[in-house]
Structure 1
Amino acid sequence: MKHSILLLLVGFVSANSFAQSVEQSVYNPKELFAQNFFTKNGNEFRSSNGAPGPQYWQNKADYNIKAAIDTVSNILTAAETIYYTNNGPDSLPSLWLEIDQNTYKEDARSNFYTTGRRVNKMHTNGYEFKSISTGYKGKTSTADYIITDTRLQLRLANALPPKQSITINISYQYTIPGAFGGRTDYYATRNGKVYEIAQWYPRMCVYDDLNGWANLPFLGSGEFYCEYGDFDYTVTVPQGMIVAGSGELLNEKEVLSPAQIKRLNDARASNETVMIRTQDEVNNDAQKTFSNKTLTWHFKMNNTRDVAFGVSKAYMWDAAKVNLPDSKKCLAMSVYPVESAGNDAWGRATEYLKKSIEYFSEKWFVYPYPVAINEAGVAGGMEYPGIVFDGWRDKSDELYWVTAHEIGHNWFPMIVGSDERRYAWMDEGFNTFIDVYAADDFNKGEYAPKRDGEYAPKKGNPADEIVPLLKDSLAPSMMSRADMLTEKYRHPLVYFKPAFGLVLLREVILGHDRFDYAFKKYTERWAYKHPSPDDFFRTMNNEAGEDLSWFWKEWFVHNWQLDIAVADVSNKTEEGANAATIVINNLQKMAMPCTVELTLKDGSKQLVQLPVETWLQSAKFILRVKTSQPVQSVIVDPKHELPDSNRNNNVWKAS
């Protein structure tokens, strides 16, 4: 069939020219296109174009941690030193730390913030502190501190001035929760326990120019907001166990066999997965009796906001080279129990990890760390810098999707360090968005389109699948605090809606070139920094060259509907030529650019692209188009790209 893009010949025509019945519209252009969307001007910290300002600052937290795990009592013991630098303009009379293990205490706030509290829920005693001290200008003092749920406040004898550093020394232990831990846990396999260790050390809260201390309690749904720094940590465990940790292993010769070291070196040069510890070796080692000797594994990771690790003697282990832009390399590897082995399961985990990193690095920002790890456990889908915890039972498409999604979090929010506890959509939504295109790219779309049931609908067109959410008058805004969203709305609003909103921006509103340029600028500008929603909105507006305030308002701030209808079509002959007059109404509060498709008497088609400015003044638009034949049908949004809540009124056909 013939397709052509037509220029708009005549814009607005008096509605009196047409006899028609017009459906009642709730659309108000004065509301949607009202100016002053941004409530604050740019300043020296955050520029009006969305970039960090010339005086942008953030504090720094470096960590030195020596940890040990008693695998009989399941207790982690550690000595931690934090080197905290106040780079901001304010003196700090107190310092706040996050102590997430307290969320497992029986009286934790996280047990009460949702309805239907489980009285039989399992608990631990949380952190048990042995000593806390501070060091400033060569003087060490016993710390004056209070604990409030999952926060610890250090009250300083003298405020920490700008451009000064303080040392915090903490000695502590806690009981590692079992599978009920959710994000940090241990579970049993036929060859021994597997430990997933995360949120395992007291860490500094962020102090920024937006809210001061970001010290909301950890309730579980809202995740993390962390300062960047350098980590040097050791983990001491019984001989025979493997530790897979964030960052680079510094003492391979002390903890690995010569055969394992050789295989690792082979993997660093191989695009194919290389076994480091085979299934037979795991099974054979399970029969051995090791001495009471322990080994200490030493890791380092720079310019990161967190670290985590897995521990087990039951791990199979494989690895492969990751090819990054500009001839850079890193290592992808997976650790998993023999129950997870098989090419339809974790035998391809490293392949999934490698390909995801390569795609995200080429498309958006180069992966910055020397190693990336996929660890199999019961956390079942959790992300930390350089390591992800995925489900040990996951197979094929489920394992690919969760691997791509969790490692994608290394871009959002591990590299671009947004506040997950306030704006969950800035990490889950952005990450789900980049997953969509990664799935299309992987192995020529082997697992595409992305439909994992958790982050997007399992079937159907996303533009149609999101309509029930837009129609839900009780649905909250995406801008709501993360912990406010009930389970009914958490995935639709935190994952699906923001991701689909970015797809609309890329595919319908801006196009690939303008969107990709602006989105990459946002990623580059805010790498290893702390962006706010306004910083994202402003960057996209400025770098895409489009005032998208209307879109941010209707899609992110509100949960409005879209309903574009073909109200009337008439064919006329003017000056010997065919002409169609089409009346299009916008019936709901949202506006979008749209495509109008005309099918002519001979079956050929003509397209008219209506920009969003079509709706700048009125809920009604009257379009006149010259045609070579009389119009037989008209359809708005023929490809179903838009989340139109009533497609029945999108079509007109000649009687």
Structure 2
Amino acid sequence: MIKSTYYFLSVLFISTTLFSQNQEQQPRKPGHTNTNKFKQLYDEFSTPNMYRAASGAPGSAYYQQQADYKMDIVLDDKNTKLSGFETITYSNNSPDGLDYLWVQLDQNKRAKDSKSPLIETSKVSPVLRPEQFFKGYMNNPFDGGFNIQEVKDVNGNPLQYMINSTMMRVELPKTLKPKEKFSFSIKWWYKINDHVPDRDRSGYEFFEKDGNRAYVIAQFFPRMAVYNDVEGWQNSQFWGRDEFALPFGNYDVNITVPADHILDGTGKLTNRKDVFTKTMMERFEKAKKSYDKPILIVTQAEAEAAEKSFSDKTKTWKLHADNVRDFAFATSRKFIWDMMAVKIGNKDVMAVSLYPKEGNPLWEEWSTITVASTLKSYSRMTFDYPYHKAISVHAKNQGMEYPMICWNYGRPQEDGSYSDRVKYGMMSVIIHEVGHNFFPMIVNSDERQWTWMDEGLNSFLQYVAETDFAEWYPSALSPGDDTYPSRRGPAKNIVQYMGGDQDFISPIMSKGLNVHQFGDNAYGKPATALNILRETVMGRELFDYAFKEYAHRWMFKHPTPEDFFRTMEDASAFDLDWFWRGWFYTTDWVDIGIKEVKKYYVSSEPNQYTKDYLAKQGRSAKDLVPLVYMVEEGSEDYKESLKKGTLLDNSKPLKEYLMDNFSEEQRKSIKEPKYFYNVTYEKPGGLVMPIIVEYTYADGSTKREIYPAEIWRLNDNEISKAIASDKEIVRIAVDPDLETADVDTSNNSWPKEVKQNEFDKFKKKVKG
């Protein structure tokens, strides 16, 4: 063993000395700050404090405000007018005294003097459809803003207020101290808009053939803004894109509509027996016990009969909701209504759908079943759905979410036929919008600032839920489809965006209003990033545990991006700063390839590397004990060794040559490598990612290897791996299953001249 020790020391001495000499020959470079991709995110993150802990959990002093509402709402169907009187009780749970309150007036985005259209650029188009020309140059703006009639305290005293576009500041009579409450009322009305032309989030659709309207009503009342530890009042203006930051509260809402209308919305219906017929009550009781198919509460025949009635009488529907961040409702005499129960944890939840006959037969077949499937999938990935129902409402050109209720598109042709595109589109939007109950309706992030925290996380879970849906309901798939055709989530689907023009790409960590390619930025890229994190970087077990921990920590609370990033690391022991920085803070892209592959042989003849070193030392090979010399195939060393017969190209002479360097115990388990390779991987793209490699051998077998992302920590451009194998490698493929969103796969295989389809045929032939 003395000889063995001297052998290893000799190799170490040679390698260290040459490295030192090479370093000395390099000119000195100027110093630099830490630009390593694995640098911790201390510069980007806020310092943890008593409100938000370093672990990503709520801190010991975490607080959030509460806003409770009591509202009386009247819908004037003939004049398309909505009126309301609301009383807000605001609880100051912060440590700060408040001298005023900020209230959101989102309908003012549609006010006649709204500034929202003025922030959009426009230019004269050489050709326009008549309706485009009319809208652009001849149409008067629709005046749908709030008409605030009064703002008073509970004693009827007027309160001073100021309206700045979509925000209203209400002056308090005296400072609202910590732990105090303040109640005040607002009386208002506004003209309801037709939501179809501009795809508005709220409004009505007019059905010309029967003269009816279907209403989907949201952002319809003055709503309290969020006050928190991060930025105080979140009173950023609503320009139309960025959605809503809202506090939780309890709601009692009375909604008066025409007597022949069907209505549902956020919260429990507290006067069901007053607004349901006896037949509807019987069907409802049956639906509560139906877990396999929806039960019609209002049939299509009944809805078609109601379309002709146009009652002059009214009916008031009363709804109560606890601990929700918003309220919305849908109403029409055209609605068909069905329900079914779905078991979530140890309780039953009602999956519900409202749709006019124009949605059938598609909606009757699949809407409520899709709602039920979504609740099961999201609950599995996060927490048991806490509310008692989830409603899907059919609305043309719509896709929008609120607590317990959402609007969804997907309309068949008049003859009832529909394409796969329409069917899958309807299913996907229902999954997405119902899924928003979890993010951000319960895990209540700031949509106005961080769009990706609700849209991106939700789009990721939508992809998981679509996979579940196809597994649980295979009959939903069209003939020829083995999997659900998900639009977002798979890595390959984001490649075109990430490899696009950098002038039109923004980091995910940007305010939604200010980004290019909003859909890819806020939905597609974060969804793909999380899918890659789950499937490729962390693995499902670690990811799912950490993701569920985040959901539990922040359900019914207000998380920030840092809370999410920190929790994912805290619950998994996975250092992910490199991942968050690359995917969320930059617009870098993935491009990892094979730069070169060199094949080596073992020789007993000193190679030129050793000879050059010894010559500088004034020594010869005779001064060294036998070493292992590696010679590259095709090199002069290789040719000389081949000529002299000193290549040890099979295991027997190699073992004999080295045997004296090993103990008898070591010899029993020694491997017998026959082939040696040096593979150099390059990274033209900026994003750090694991290197997923598939090695294919001459006998057709394969081996999959995943080198962790940390392999790039000391060299961001290229790395190499020395490989000893008992079988000859005939092909190397990087990211063979397209898991990493690599924007250029032309450098992903070796040898490059072997095309993928040709090689697949070769593998099949060999294995066969």
Aligned to 2:80: 74
Aligned to 1:598: 695
- Match among 369, 375, 378 for residue 387 of structure 2: 369
Question: In the alignment, residue 651 of structure 1 is paired with which amino acid?
Answer: S
Question: In the alignment, residue 578 of structure 1 is paired with which amino acid?
Answer: Y
Q: Secondary structure at the match of 1:107?
A: coil
Question: In the alignment, residue 566 of structure 2 is paired with which amino acid?
Answer: R
1:211, 1:613 → 2: CA distance?
Answer: 35
2:492, 2:569 → 1: CA distance?
Answer: 23
Cα distance, 1:125–1:499 mapped onto 2, change above 3 Å: closer
Q: Secondary structure at the match of 2:119?
A: coil
Q: Is residue 615 of structure 2 the alignment partner of residue 518 of structure 1?
A: no
2:363, 2:145 → 1: CA distance?
Answer: 35
Q: Indicate the larger mover: 601-610 or 465-474.
A: 465-474
Q: Is residue 579 of structure 2 the alignment partner of residue 551 of structure 1?
A: yes
Q: Secondary structure at the match of 1:427?
A: helix
Greater helix content: 2
Q: Which has the higher contact order (CA 8 A, sep 6+)?
A: 1
Cα distance, 1:608–1:338 mapped onto 2, change above 3 Å: closer
Q: Is the 8 A contact 1:38 1:534 kept in 2?
A: no
Shift of 1:607: 2.9
Aligned to 2:354: 335
Question: In the alignment, residue 681 of structure 2 is paired with which amino acid?
Answer: I
Shift of 1:134: 2.2
Shift of 1:125: 4.3
Q: Secondary structure at the match of 2:51?
A: coil
Q: Secondary structure at the match of 2:250?
A: strand
Cα distance, 1:314–1:125 mapped onto 2, change above 3 Å: closer
- Match among 30, 39, 53 for residue 34 of structure 1: 39
1:620, 1:560 → 2: CA distance?
Answer: 17
Aligned to 1:103: 109
Cα distance, 1:333–1:608 mapped onto 2, change above 3 Å: closer
Aligned to 2:711: 614
- Match among 422, 429, 446 for residue 456 of structure 2: 429
Shift of 1:157: 2.8
Aligned identity (percent) is 33
Aligned to 1:478: 508
Shift of 1:450: 5.3
Aligned to 1:565: 593
Aligned to 1:275: 296
Shift of 1:347: 3.3
Question: In the alignment, residue 230 of structure 1 is paired with which amino acid?
Answer: N
Q: Indicate the larger mover: 546-555 or 637-646.
A: 637-646
Q: Is residue 347 of structure 2 the alignment partner of residue 317 of structure 1?
A: no
Residues 141-290 of structure 1: matches in 2 within 5 Å?
A: 141-179=157-195, 180=197, 182-189=200-207, 190-191=209-210, 192-271=212-291, 272-288=293-309, 290=311
Aligned to 1:408: 435
Q: Is the 8 A contact 1:571 1:631 kept in 2?
A: no
Greater strand content: 1
CA root-mean-square deviation: 2.3
1:564, 1:58 → 2: CA distance?
Answer: 45
TM-score normalised to the size of structure 1? 0.91
Residues 609-648 of structure 1: matches in 2 within 5 Å?
A: 609-618=706-715, 619-648=717-746
Query: Quick check: which has more Rg, 1 or 2?
Result: 2
Q: Is the 8 A contact 2:495 2:743 kept in 1?
A: no
Shift of 1:61: 0.3
Aligned to 2:145: 126
Aligned to 2:89: 83
Shift of 1:608: 2.6
Q: Indicate the larger mover: 410-419 or 572-581.
A: 572-581
Question: In the alignment, residue 76 of structure 1 is paired with which amino acid?
Answer: L
Aligned to 1:21: none
TM-score normalised to the size of structure 2? 0.78
2:694, 2:356 → 1: CA distance?
Answer: 55
Question: In the alignment, residue 160 of structure 2 is paired with which amino acid?
Answer: D
2:460, 2:66 → 1: CA distance?
Answer: 30
Q: Is the 8 A contact 2:463 2:486 kept in 1?
A: no
Cα distance, 1:623–1:233 mapped onto 2, change above 3 Å: same
1:613, 1:541 → 2: CA distance?
Answer: 15
Q: Indicate the larger mover: 524-533 or 170-179.
A: 170-179
Shift of 1:141: 2.8
- Number of residues of Structure 1 aligned to a counterpart in Structure 2: 622
Shift of 1:83: 0.6
Cα distance, 1:424–1:442 mapped onto 2, change above 3 Å: same
Shift of 1:285: 2.7
Q: Is the 8 A contact 2:256 2:315 kept in 1?
A: yes
Shift of 1:630: 2.4
Q: Which runs of 5+ in 1 are unaligned?
A: 1-9, 18-27
Q: Secondary structure at the match of 1:411?
A: coil
Q: Is the 8 A contact 1:245 1:308 kept in 2?
A: yes
Question: In the alignment, residue 510 of structure 2 is paired with which amino acid?
Answer: S
1:641, 1:625 → 2: CA distance?
Answer: 24
- Match among 442, 446, 452 for residue 419 of structure 1: 446
1:280, 1:349 → 2: CA distance?
Answer: 19
| 1:491-546 deviation per Cα after TM superposition (whole angstroms, max 9, x unaligned) | 01011000000001000110000000000010000101110111111101111111
Residues 499-518 of structure 1: matches in 2 within 5 Å?
A: 499-518=527-546
Shift of 1:37: 4.6
2:282, 2:595 → 1: CA distance?
Answer: 72
Q: Is the 8 A contact 1:32 1:589 kept in 2?
A: no
Shift of 1:363: 2.7
Q: Is the 8 A contact 2:194 2:206 kept in 1?
A: no
Shift of 1:209: 0.5
Cα distance, 1:121–1:336 mapped onto 2, change above 3 Å: farther
Q: Secondary structure at the match of 2:439?
A: helix
Q: Secondary structure at the match of 1:31?
A: coil
1:356, 1:469 → 2: CA distance?
Answer: 29
Question: In the alignment, residue 644 of structure 1 is paired with which amino acid?
Answer: D
Shift of 1:382: 0.6
Cα distance, 1:608–1:187 mapped onto 2, change above 3 Å: closer
Shift of 1:131: 1.1
Shift of 1:162: 0.8
Q: Is the 8 A contact 1:247 1:386 kept in 2?
A: yes
| 1:575-604 deviation per Cα after TM superposition (whole angstroms, max 9, x unaligned) | 363222111122222111122222222222
Q: Is the 8 A contact 2:491 2:532 kept in 1?
A: no
Q: Indicate the larger mover: 443-452 or 141-150.
A: 443-452
Q: Secondary structure at the match of 1:415?
A: coil
Cα distance, 1:284–1:471 mapped onto 2, change above 3 Å: closer
Q: Is the 8 A contact 1:416 1:523 kept in 2?
A: yes
| 1:121-145 deviation per Cα after TM superposition (whole angstroms, max 9, x unaligned) | 641241112211124xxx5531100
